[in-house]
Amino acid sequence: MPRFEIVTLVMAPPDLVFDISLDVGVHTASMAGSSEEAVGGVTAGGLELGESVTWQARHFGVRWRMTSTISAHDRPRYFVDEQVSGPFKRWHHAHHFQSDGRGGTVMSDVVDFAAPFGPFGTAAEVLALRRYMPMLIRVRNQHVKQVAETASAAG
């Protein structure tokens, strides 16, 4: 099962970065390149513990739906989103937020996932997903960083 971690420094306080990271609209804007939209569950505003959202997006030319729930939540330190239905055999995404001691946040994303379909899924992981999924998280994080730093500078 592939696992990766992406660390991003954001020049904004952890509580702000945490809240922005849970905002459905911010996530949707960050994934505009894949036409991602919230089509079920919480479709606007921030997500809370136990709430779910169904995302629809286009990846590899195919339209996908994935419903994830916030399965752990400790503001402003971490939250976890997990797939409850969708294209993956497993999707577990832990988001961690730690002060950098200078007014900023070290945002760390740890993602464990597995593709379905046995050996075919393993081949998809090796050939595409191990590179593609970290790239998506980096794109998302750059958008979160921009939104948080802009909001923090505005006061």
Query: What was the pLDDT predicted at 2?
Result: 86
CATH of the domain at 35: 3.30.530.20
Write down how long the chain is: 155
- Structural domains in the chain (count): 1
94 — phi, psi (to 5°)? -95, 130
Contact 72, 57 (CB under 8 A): no
Q: Does the predicted TM-score (pTM) go above 0.75?
A: yes
pLDDT of residue 120: 63
| Structural domain harbouring 27 | 3-154
pLDDT > 70? residue 109:
yes
CB 20 within 8 A of CB 26: yes
Look at residue 125 in the predicted model and tell me its pLDDT: 56
Q: Within 10 A of 62 (CB to CB), how many other CB atoms are there? A: 8
Average pLDDT along the chain: 92
